[in-house]
């Protein structure tokens, strides 16, 4: 297995995507993985499945999990397709969510760290901005809420307010039974 096949498997690329080249920059401490669409691949809009023509490409970069302590970047010219029904749309990539500049695996890694640490500690360790970590966290919460089943409405709700120790400190207890 060569390095292109290795990164294709690590990124879980579909048949239409392929790693075209790798660049190692030892001075910058980074690995850049260039991903492209295979030649003559028929493109279709994922939502409607209709065949579409390529309108143009947008060059995008994503941060991926580090490779042997080298910062790993994924770069791709992502095609925008012209759908007769929906207009010009950017094709989704299998390694990242819509609008994110981080791969799904990198975001999962950040979330696993956020479960046991603070935003500031994660930010410093991964060399990210506070806003970047916060945006990753917000996208994860949004994904979790879409997977959650609708809660059943409560038939009865009990509310009680009781004094806590002496003085005027109160505790409100809410229960659905």
Query: pLDDT tens-digit profile of 113-151?
Result: 999 999 999 999 999 999 999 999 999 999 888 888 776
Confidence of residue 154 (pLDDT cuts 50, 70, 90): low
**pLDDT for the residue 47:** 67
Query: What is the model's pTM?
Result: 0.75
Report the chain's mean pLDDT, rounded to a whole number.
Answer: 85
Average pLDDT rounded to a whole number, residues 5-15: 84
**pLDDT for the residue 177:** 66
Report how far residue 115's alpha carbon sits from residue 34's, in angstroms, rounded to the nearest whole number.
32
Distances (CA, A) of 171 to 44, 156, 163: 57, 20, 6
The DSSP line for 123-161 is HHHHT--HHHHHHHHHHHHHHHHHHSPPPPPPS-EEEEE
Confidence of residue 31 (pLDDT cuts 50, 70, 90): very high
**pLDDT for the residue 115:** 93
Query: Across 27-124, where does the E strand assignment appear?
Result: 30-37, 43-44, 51-67, 70-83, 87-90
**pLDDT for the residue 105:** 93
DSSP 92: P
pLDDT in tens, 87-103: 788 888 889 988 889 99
């Amino acid at each position: 297995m060569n390095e292109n096949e290795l990164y294709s498997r690590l990124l879980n690329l579909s048949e239409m995507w392929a790693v075209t080249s790798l660049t190692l920059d030892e001075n910058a401490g980074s690995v850049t993985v260039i991903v492209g669409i295979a030649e003559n691949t028929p493109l279709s809009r994922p939502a409607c499945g209709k065949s579409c023509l390529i309108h143009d490409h947008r060059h995008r970069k994503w941060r991926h999990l580090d490779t042997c302590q080298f910062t790993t970047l994924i770069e791709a010219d992502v095609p925008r397709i012209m759908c007769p029904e929906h207009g010009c749309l950017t094709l989704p990539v299998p390694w990242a969510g819509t609008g994110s500049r981080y791969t799904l695996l990198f975001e999962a890694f950040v979330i696993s760290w956020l479960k046991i640490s603070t935003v500031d500690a994660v930010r410093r360790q991964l060399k990210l901005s506070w806003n970047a970590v916060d945006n990753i966290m917000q996208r994860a919460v949004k994904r979790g809420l879409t997977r959650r089943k609708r809660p059943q409405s409560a038939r009865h709700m009990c509310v009680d307010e009781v004094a806590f120790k002496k003085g005027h400190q109160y505790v409100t207890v809410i229960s659905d039974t």
